[in-house]
Amino acid sequence: MRIDILSENPAESELLLQAVGLRPEHRVLWVARTTAEAAHLCATDAPALVLLDVVGTTLDPVMATRQVKAATSSAIAMRAPELRCLRDSRLTIHARHQLCNPSFKAL
């Protein structure tokens, strides 16, 4: 499986690279540090899965997901902290659950 990583944190990126490397059939194509970079790379070489890490970063999980999904039809798995301050009324209950759960979730 072709996998891409979006994370601002180099240490977290390395952990994700190691985790993906545990399965020989999985391969990381690239690691992006910004949402714009990830969207551009997805548009030019679409992966099967984008691992989106927003724990301890300045990435806006809602905007990052929107920008990446606009560039590709790839699945997104998000690692996000509990977002108690997330009160965006434009989000559905399902979207809030996905964004506020601190484990990887496919969107």
User: Residue 102: which CATH number?
Assistant: 3.40.50.2300
d(CA 104, CA 59): 16
pLDDT at 77: 85
Residues in the chain: 107
Count of structural domains, the chain: 1
Q: Provide the pLDDT for residue 98.
A: 52
Closest CA to 72 of 103, 30, 101, 16: 30
Range of the domain at 59: 2-106
Mean pLDDT of the chain: 78
Q: CA 79 to CA 101: how far, in whole Å?
A: 8
Q: Which two tokens stand for residue 91?
A: 């989000």
- Is the full-model pTM beyond 0.85? no
Residue 75, pLDDT > 50, answer yes
